[in-house]
Amino acid sequence: MIERIRGKVESGERLSAEECLYLYRHGDLLDLGALANLVRERKNGNVTYFIVNRHLNYTNLCVNRCRFCAFSREPGAQGGYAMTVPEIVEAATSVPGRFTELHIVGGLHPDLPFSYYLEMLSSLKAVLPNIHLQAFTAVEIAHIAQVAGLSVRETLEQLIAAGLGSLPGGGAEVFSARVREAVCPVKLSGEEWLGVMRAAHALGLRSNATMLYGHLETPEEKVDHLLRLRALQDETSGFMAYIPLAYHSGNTDLGGRPSTTGVEDLREVAIGRLALDNFDHVKSFWIMQGLKLAQVSLSFGADDLDGTVTEERITHAAGATTPQSLTRDELCALIREAGRVPVERDTVYTVCATGAPGGATL
Ligand code: SF4
């Protein structure tokens, strides 16, 4: 089987569900890495992308309380917070330094009105007109639509008019109804997540896609998840990057279950790269993977390390021990040491600066 898969990857043919499942069950780590690296270099050469961005988590109050989530708090619980719009603007503008993207996600707050989300975006745009606002997972969009009493499409139209630039890829978890019932029973279904993304892409909004692995899911369920992402991408071409997200066990209701290992993390990056032939980019989110493994993943299919990330609360609430931010120089040094050429991008992968010979400013 591996020879058949190798032949298909070399000739750029799409892998079947059966072949993806074989990779999960029997693929040798280094075989996976070599094949994924072939695809990665075919699509993105020797380049590794990163972005100079900031994260902003506007509230941790959430009506969903997913069992893997260490970030959220029940309304009224100790440690809960919700930022006002002026506080959000202050947080976005108070740290000195250049950045191109603000990445905004939060819990599903029970009471915030639709006007809060519109005002958040328009107020940020008023003071940061050139900053791309990548905001609200599909889960939040569905919640905001419910709060607004509007369809997802109408909600997105108003958010876009207020300044929304793209959607992050979170909240996908694993699409399997069995897994969702066990780990996030109140969250929107896999079909609904894909439906929000379909609506966003139809309006010209680009997005990312994720899969949260390392908890209760089976290889079959992961293959199903990846192939459903691939099918939607065939339909819309709206996804920019796939981001495998490692489950972190600290402070969660699924505690007792160990966090993922380095081998598992590398296998997910590589299989994602091999299964999602119609995705341009695979991102190794260093906040979750850890810096050392993220660096190695650049030879296992990943071509993007995400960003400088000031103020990340969600993964750190679940025990991530990575730093809360990196400087642009630190990121470039990590990429160069891995033998790759650093390229600073904006949210939609327009090149801002490249470290390639003759390429100016890195
Ligand atoms: S993962 Fe998102 S939706 Fe689920 S409890 Fe945490 S903040 Fe809420």
In this structure, the number of other CB atoms found within 10 A of the CB of residue 342 comes to: 24
Which pLDDT score is estimated for 325? 72
Q: Per the CATH hierarchy, to which homologous superfamily does domain 2-346 belong?
A: Aldolase class I (3.20.20.70)
Q: Kindly report the protein residue whose alpha carbon is nearest to atom 3 of ligand 1.
A: 64
Looking at ligand 1, which residue's alpha carbon is closest to its atom 4? 66
Please tell me the predicted confidence (pLDDT) of residue 77.
86
Q: Which atom of ligand 1 is nearest to the CA of 187?
A: 3
Pocket lined around ligand 1, Cβ cut-off 6 Å: 62, 64-66, 69, 71-72, 107-108, 139, 184, 187
Pocket test for ligand 1, best of 66, 179, 248 (most atoms within 8 A of CB): 66
Q: Give, for ligand 1, the residue of 71, 192, 212, 315 to mutate: max count of ligand atoms closer than 8 Å to Cβ.
A: 71
pTM assigned to the model: 0.93
- Can you tell me the distance from the alpha carbon of 246 to that of 213, in angstroms, rounded to the nearest whole number? 5
Tokens for 141?
A: 């969009």
Per-residue pLDDT of the chain (362 residues; tens, 9 = 90+): 999 999 999 999 999 999 999 999 999 999 999 999 999 999 999 999 999 889 899 999 999 989 888 889 988 889 999 999 999 999 999 888 889 999 999 999 999 999 999 999 999 999 999 999 999 999 999 999 999 999 999 999 999 999 999 999 999 999 999 999 999 999 999 999 999 999 999 999 999 999 999 999 999 999 999 999 999 999 999 999 999 999 887 766 676 677 889 999 999 999 999 999 999 999 998 888 888 999 999 999 999 998 877 655 555 565 556 666 777 888 899 999 999 999 999 999 999 888 765 555 56
Please, is 106 exposed, middle or buried when counting C-beta atoms within 10 Å of its C-beta (0-12, 13-18, 19+)? buried
In angstroms, the CA 43 to CA 46 distance is 9
Q: How far is the C-alpha of 40 from the C-alpha of 281, rounded, in Å?
A: 8
Q: What is the reported pLDDT for 355?
A: 72
Distance 62 CA to ligand 1 centre (A): 6
Domain layout of the chain by residue ranges: 2-346
CA of 90 to the centre of ligand 1 (A): 25
Q: Which of 72, 192, 247 to mutate to test the pocket of ligand 1 (most atoms within 8 A of CB)?
A: 72
Residue 166: its H or E element: strand 166-167
* Residues 272 and 314 sit within 8 Å (Cβ to Cβ): no
* Strand pairing category for 206-213 and 239-246: parallel
